[in-house]
Amino acid sequence: MKLTIYQKSVYRIIINATMILRSIGKTYKKDPEKLKDFKYKLFKKIEILINLMDKEKLKNKKIRQEIKDLASECNVSVGQSQKCINVILKYHFLLNYNNPKVKKELDCPLDSLILKELGVKKIFLNKMNFEKYTDYQNAIESKLKQNQYKLDFDDFWDNQNLKKDGLL
């Protein structure tokens, strides 16, 4: 099943809102066609992953492989690639599911706030490699309580920001 125009539009808004496209745009500032190609390849990978999610066949190994492949194919860092993929998967899941089997497979989208909570002083997403990415996901997993998932680690920040804005 292909993503609908509405899904693509919402997911494009989400990646713009996370400011990750600004980072990737800097990577491609001299070649806007490469940015367009990145978006195209990103959405092709998202379509594959969401189709697997919809069939309850999504596996973490597949997500991580698509993150690595996108980084390699588009000459961006794993940090940049994971942010786009993980954020879109997070919101697709939150808007469409309440299934622990699927949630268990999702990684926490990494950003500076999450990394700070893990005790990482300075790392930029555009410098993150796959080994570090895996280390951070493992560190998140080690901090979880029983019946929690890596995606729940990101919920803390969402709640904190919504409370700060008076929206919760």
User: Phi and psi for 90 in degrees, rounded to 5?
Assistant: -60, -50
Contacts of 50 (CB under 8 A, 6+ apart): 3, 7, 89, 92
pLDDT 10s digit of each residue in the chain, 168 long? 677 888 888 888 877 776 677 777 777 778 889 888 998 999 999 999 999 999 999 999 999 999 999 999 999 999 999 999 999 999 899 888 778 899 999 999 998 888 888 888 877 788 899 999 999 999 999 998 888 899 988 887 777 777 888 888
Q: Where are the domains of the chain?
A: 5-164
Please, how many CA atoms are within 13 Å of residue 68, restricted to the half-sphere of its CB?
11
Q: At what angle do helices 78-96 and 20-27 cross, to 10 degrees?
A: 150
